[in-house]
């Protein structure tokens, strides 16, 4: 993926990061595939939280799809 898309994804992650940090967690961008799949790593309290899948779908994925054209899905990696 292009550097422009990577910058847009990082900017979108920055916008949701304070909400994750408020609960002791964070998110790191791992990679963006040519198919528009963003791979992220949930860290801190988010890494083993039972609500992490909901956070990933309702928070991270929704924000990225809204803010970055071409993003189709977000997946958590270890």
Three-class DSSP category at 44: strand
- In this prediction, residue 49 has a pLDDT band, given cuts at 50, 70 and 90, of confident
**Predicted TM-score of the model (pTM):** 0.89
Q: 6: which residues sit within 8 A by CB, 6+ positions away?
A: 29, 32
How high is the mean pLDDT of the chain? 92
Helix, strand or coil, per DSSP, at residue 68: coil
Asked whether the predicted pLDDT for residue 2 surpasses 80, the reply is no
Q: Is the pLDDT of residue 54 over 80?
A: yes
Q: Write down all domains in the chain, each with its CATH number in brackets.
A: 3-76 (3.30.300.130)
Distance CA(2)–CA(50), nearest Å, equals: 33
């Amino acid at each position: 993926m292009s550097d422009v898309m990577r910058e847009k994804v990082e900017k979108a992650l920055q916008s949701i990061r304070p909400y994750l940090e408020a609960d002791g967690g964070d998110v790191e961008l791992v990679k963006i595939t040519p198919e528009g799949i963003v791979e992220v790593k949930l860290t801190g309290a988010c890494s083993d939280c039972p609500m992490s899948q909901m956070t990933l779908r309702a928070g991270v994925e929704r924000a990225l799809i809204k803010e970055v054209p071409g993003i189709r899905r977000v997946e958590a990696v270890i």
